[in-house]
Copies of this chain bind each other. A is one copy, B any other.
Amino acid sequence: MAKNKKFVIGVDLGGTSIKVGVVSKEGKLIKKGFVDTLAHQGPKVVVSQIKKGIRLVLGDYEKEIGGIGIGAPGVVSMENGTVENPPNLPGWKKVYLSKVIEDEFCLKTVVENDANSAAVGEMVFGAGKNFTDFIMVTLGTGVGGGIIVNRKLYHGMQGAAGELGHTTIDFNGNKCNCGSYGCVETYVGNGYLVERVHKQLEGGQTTKINDLLDNNLNNLTPKIINDAALLGDEFAKSVIAETGKYLAYALASSINLLDIHNVIIGGGVAGFGAPLFESVRKTVKERVLSPLAPKVKVVPAKLKNEAGIKGASSLVFYSEK
């Protein structure tokens, strides 16, 4: 990226929509836009939607843009810019995304897995600015992860490292979408979490959550659980504390294995806020090897809204170093 360029374009490629933005060196989102992914129409259409999205924000800033960063689902090779078998994007197999976009816009283009891109975003712009090493966890439908070692993204052998969500915390646990059993994702992933609470409500659990559901259990979301907790509801609070514990079991194993004691947690469920973080911290400290315990830091992600766009843009700033 030419040193005199001030901005980067970040592209957050999702299954439903593509979010695009112009981001400054300081991590400020200057302009944003979005287009539909049109995933069901296959990779050619999705790629042309990505181009369309980029053009939406490129306009006024064209001469100031130093590169394009793309956060994509699935296994991504940062080295050759390919995206393989992304979940929710049917028919992809392997697409040389960085080359296609680079050729179109004559701008250096960096592609990375979205969980890894979130980790780089926190390192460059967010809560990881002062950490040499950290584990990034994103709590959403799935539980994603990224590992930063010595200010570099750790990729693993195929660029698929960081799958913390598929850490088994109970080998006899519930079946996970991945085919294994008792993965931490089956305890703290959005869908599983809601389903578990759903069952408890059906079982007659007394809680203020019931008052917030408009008589329809299908309205249950992590946000409603949080709202009930904020109203002082004990059951909702216990759900949040329990979620923190489950996550901590997986984190303690990862911290022991990696000898990385800094953890950044982002994503929707991280919105449970301080009570979640207190529970995670307490349980991680109880569970990790004793020399590590006093060093453990578990902090919330700083990039909240538009973390996807900012994370993607950070890939360009990061790759310059």
Contacts and interface: CB of A to CB of B under 8 A. Distances in A.
Contacts of A169: 168-171
A180 B287 contact: yes
B168 A252 contact: yes
Contact of A257 (B132, B133, B149, B254): B254
A217 to B, nearest CB: 28
A249 interface: yes
Contacts of A295: 158
Nearest to A166: B256
A155 B259 contact: yes
Interface string A286-314: 11111110010000000000000000000
Interface string A128-142: 000011000000000
Interface residues of A, number: 51
Interface SS, A side: loop
Contacts of A133: 156-157
Nearest to A84: B291
A203 interface: no
Contacts of A164: 256-257
Contacts of A292: 158, 160
Nearest to A131: B157
Contacts of A156: 133, 258-260
A27 interface: no
B168 A249 contact: yes
Interface in A238-264: 245-246, 249-250, 252-254, 256-261
A163 interface: yes
A259 B289 contact: no
List the 9 closest pairs (A to B, CB-CB), nearest first. A156-B259, A161-B259, A163-B256, A167-B253, A171-B249, A180-B287, A160-B259, A166-B256, A170-B170
12 contacts: A145-B257, A158-B292, A160-B292, A161-B258, A161-B259, A168-B252, A168-B253, A169-B170, A170-B170, A170-B171, A171-B245, A171-B249
